[in-house]
Amino acid sequence: MALGRYRSLLTAVSVAMLWWAATCSPSAAGSSDPTNILMKDFMFAPTSLTVKAGSTVTWVNMDDEPHTAVSDTGLFRSAAMDTNESFSFKFDKPGTYHFTCSIHPRMVGTIVVQ
């Protein structure tokens, strides 16, 4: 009996999560800028972004801790961004660009320019 109730609760949670995923994820909501990368909870979000050549990508820091966006090849390097500060870079040539936060090097991300 108790197990059955637990199972139905699980089902309800699963349904709620599916609903959330369908309606609230960035792709479905369409509210997030496709050329923005957020720095939040010590992660780049999204960690991988695909844009067309000529696009300008903007990094925005949402954490209380400063972050940077530094290209592995030295192509671009932001200053330290405090909370709500941002940095933009225009990608002219197609290719795959890896970047990291120089303050928290475990934060890594990739931009694919088509």
Partner 1 sequence: MSDEQLLQSRRNALKCMAYGGAGTLFVLAGGVFSPVDLALAADDKLGTARLGKPLFVQISDTHIGFNKEANPDVNGTLTQTIDLVNGMAERPALIIHTGDITHLSKPAEFDLAQQLLSRLRTTELHTVPGEHDTTDATVTEYFNRFGKASNNKGYYSFDHAGVHFVALINVLQFKPGGLGTLGTEQLAWVAADLKGHSDSTPIVVFAHMPLWTIYEPWGWGTGDADQLMEQLRRFGSVTVLNGHIHQIVQKVEGNVTFHTARSTAYPQPTAGMGSGPAPLKVAADQLAKMLGITSVSVVKHPRSLALSDTTIA
The per-type count for the chain, helices as H runs and strands as E runs, is 2, 8
Amino acid present at 18: L
Of 3-11, 17-25, 52-60, 103-111, the window that binds partner 1 (rule: CB under 8 A) is 103-111
The count of residues interacting with partner 1 (CB under 8 A) is 22
**CA 113 → CA 16, 51, 52, 97, distances in Å?**
36, 5, 5, 8
Residues 42-71 that bind partner 1 (CB under 8 A): 42-43, 63-66, 68
Q: Does the protein bind partner 1 through residue 80 (CB under 8 A)?
A: yes
**CA 86 → CA 2, 21, 29, distances in Å?**
51, 28, 23
Comparison of 33 and 41: residue with beta carbon closer to partner 1: 41
CB 114 within 8 A of CB 53: yes
Of 13, 18, 79, 112, the residue at the interface with partner 1 (CB under 8 A) is 79
Q: Which of 35, 37, 53 minimizes the C-alpha distance to 101?
A: 37
- CB of 5: closest distance to partner 1 in angstroms? 33
Q: Which residues bind partner 1 (CB under 8 A)?
A: 41-43, 63-66, 68, 72, 77, 79-80, 82-83, 98, 100, 102-106, 108
